[in-house]
């Protein structure tokens, strides 16, 4: 069996395609169950975020697994495979660890070092564990990747400054609006982790803001986030009040997962009040035709790239340090994997030799009856010592080659020769 990752990400696909292949979290369990029903897939973890939809799996046949994963993604997204298969990024065995550790470290994020990806990977592993699709191998891989990601952020400066979509979107909006934010009302749509980050960044970056209204489909969640933030400028509202709130706002930042836009042209036509809409949803949470209204400007995560380029320029040294940590932790993970892979066959081989020694000593016990107990023990010790020396070189070779093509061949040959 081998490791594989197959995904579509912002480095190789357009925002439009990423939007269309995004699978909302409440559908992830269905994708996992479909993956595990395939012939070549033994373990699987699935994650789908605004900029990454990916499967990590333990498989049998490489090409068979690629086909099964592609078909599953096609079924889950409703897209013909031909629309995305040339945009797939595939990693195999060692490459999977390099890739996943780099993702967890924030090295493959639009915002280098951003924290949200750690929570997304952790949630993906938790869900796969709940669905019993992540076994020991993927659990260890993801846990080690998450540990490496936390280490990168603790030991390098990659997480200094703007480190999330929340902070980057707020910084972009504040730069664009400038003094217009003095006494301004802001609407944040959503009450999840991203919305919380946006609201806190707004309040921490712009003391001049008058109010931040959390609008959410479930008003209780909006109220809970309001209470968690604990700032008197924060208000809570349901989505049924969104039109009235937008008429008063200078800025609205939308942070929800949705299959249909939550803000449409109809919400905005009754007002001429200037409004900047920052849409962080994938799929888009703001209807594209709102841009036809003269008083409305709409931006999305694709417009964050200028700010991200600035961040990248400030963090080249930190990124190099982060890559060094990732490389070290990947090597340690692979070393531990090789050691564990060899442990089973080595243990079985030693047990095989020990059984032969014990069986033969027991069978020939009568031949040693003329010897004293001390002499009998010396004979037993000598036999065990000779057998241990004979077994030494094969066990060393199995350990040293574990995880390689040669190791696989030696493993198979050992099982065949000794009938293990």
Average pLDDT score over the chain:
87
Q: How far apart are CA 407 and CA 10, in angstroms?
A: 36
Task: Tell which wins on pLDDT, 341 or 30.
Answer: 30
CA angle 106, 111, 113 (to 5 degrees): 35
Q: Where are the domains of the chain?
A: 2-161, 165-308, 335-366+386-398+405-420
Going by pLDDT thresholds of 50, 70 and 90, the confidence category of residue 268 is: very high
pLDDT-above-90 percentage for the chain: 46
**One fold for both 2-161 and 165-308?**
no
Catalytic residue among 18, 45, 50, 66: 50
Given a cut of 70, is residue 310 above it in pLDDT?
no
Arithmetic mean of pLDDT, 331-343: 78
Right CATH for 2-161 from 3.40.1440.60, 3.30.230.10, 3.60.20.10, 3.30.460.30: 3.30.460.30
| Residue 369 CA from chain centroid, whole number | 66
Q: Which residues pair with 91 in a beta bridge?
A: 5
Cα four-point dihedral sign 376, 379, 385, 386: negative
Given a cut of 80, is residue 1 above it in pLDDT?
no
pLDDT digits (tens, 9 = 90+) for 51-82: 889 999 999 899 999 999 999 999 999 999 99
**C-beta of residue 133 within 8 angstroms of C-beta of residue 45:** yes
Output DSSP code: residue 263: B
Task: Tell which wins on pLDDT, 117 or 206.
Answer: 117
Going by pLDDT thresholds of 50, 70 and 90, the confidence category of residue 211 is: very high
Q: Parallel, antiparallel, or unpaired: how do β-strands 41-49 and 52-59 relate? A: antiparallel
Per this entry, what is the length of the chain?
420
Q: How far apart are CA 376 and CA 384, in angstroms?
A: 12
- pTM for this entry: 0.66
Arithmetic mean of pLDDT, 181-185: 92
Given a cut of 80, is residue 40 above it in pLDDT?
yes
**C-beta of residue 257 within 8 angstroms of C-beta of residue 24:** yes
Given a cut of 60, is residue 311 above it in pLDDT?
no
Burial 31-40 (b: 16+ CB within 10 A, else e): bbebbbebeb
Q: How far apart are CA 413 and CA 192, in angstroms?
A: 54
Going by pLDDT thresholds of 50, 70 and 90, the confidence category of residue 314 is: low
CATH fold of 165-308 reads Rossmann fold (3.40.50)
Given a cut of 60, is residue 163 above it in pLDDT?
no
Q: Is 409 helix (H, G, I), strand (E, B) or coil?
A: helix
- Whether 255 sits among the annotated catalytic residues: the reply is no
Residue among 120, 122, 128, 167 nearest 147 (CA): 122
Residue among 338, 340, 328 nearest 101 (CA): 328
């Amino acid at each position: 069996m081998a490791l594989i990752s197959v995904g579509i990400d912002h480095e190789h696909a357009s925002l439009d395609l990423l939007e269309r292949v995004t699978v909302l979290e409440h559908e992830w369990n269905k994708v996992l169950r479909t993956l595990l029903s395939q012939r070549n897939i033994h373990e699987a973890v699935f994650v789908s975020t605004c900029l990454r939809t990916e499967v990590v799996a333990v498989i049998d046949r490489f090409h068979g697994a690629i086909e099964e994963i592609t078909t599953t993604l096609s079924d889950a997204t409703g897209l013909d495979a031909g629309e995305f298969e040339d945009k797939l990024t595939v990693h195999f065995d060692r490459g999977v660890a390099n890739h996943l550790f780099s993702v967890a470290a924030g090295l493959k994020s639009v915002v280098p070092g951003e924290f949200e990806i750690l929570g997304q990977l952790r949630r993906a592993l938790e869900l796969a564990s709940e669905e019993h699709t992540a076994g020991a191998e993927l659990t260890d891989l993801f846990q080690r990747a998450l540990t490496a990601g936390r280490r990168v952020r603790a030991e390098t400066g990659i997480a200094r400054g703007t480190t999330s979509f929340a902070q980057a979107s707020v910084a972009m909006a504040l730069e664009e609006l400038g003094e217009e934010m003095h006494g301004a009302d802001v609407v944040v749509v959503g009450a999840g982790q991203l919305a919380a980050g946006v609201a806190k960044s707004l309040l921490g970056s712009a003391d001049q803001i008058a109010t931040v209204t959390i609008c959410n489909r479930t008003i209780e969640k909006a109220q809970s986030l309001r209470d968690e933030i604990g700032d008197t400028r924060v208000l809570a509202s349901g989505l049924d009040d969104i039109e009235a709130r937008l008429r008063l706002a200078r800025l609205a930042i939308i942070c929800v997962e949705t299959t249909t836009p939550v803000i449409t042209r109809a919400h905005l036509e009754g007002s001429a009040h200037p409004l900047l809409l920052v849409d962080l949803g994938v799929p888009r949470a703001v209807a594209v035709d709102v841009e036809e209204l003269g008083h409305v400007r709409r931006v999305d995560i694709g417009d964050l790239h200028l700010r991200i380029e600035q961040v990248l320029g400030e963090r080249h040294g930190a990124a190099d340090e982060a890559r060094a940590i990732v490389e070290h932790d990947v090597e340690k993970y692979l070393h531990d994997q090789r050691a564990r892979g060899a442990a089973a066959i080595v243990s079985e081989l030693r047990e095989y030799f020990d059984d032969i020694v014990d069986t033969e000593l027991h069978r020939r016990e009568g031949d040693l009856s003329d010897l004293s107990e001390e002499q009998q023990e010396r004979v037993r010790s000598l036999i065990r010592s000779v057998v241990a020396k004979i077994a030494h070189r094969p066990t060393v070779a199995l350990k040293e080659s574990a995880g390689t093509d040669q190791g696989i061949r030696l493993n198979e040959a050992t099982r065949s020769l000794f009938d293990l």
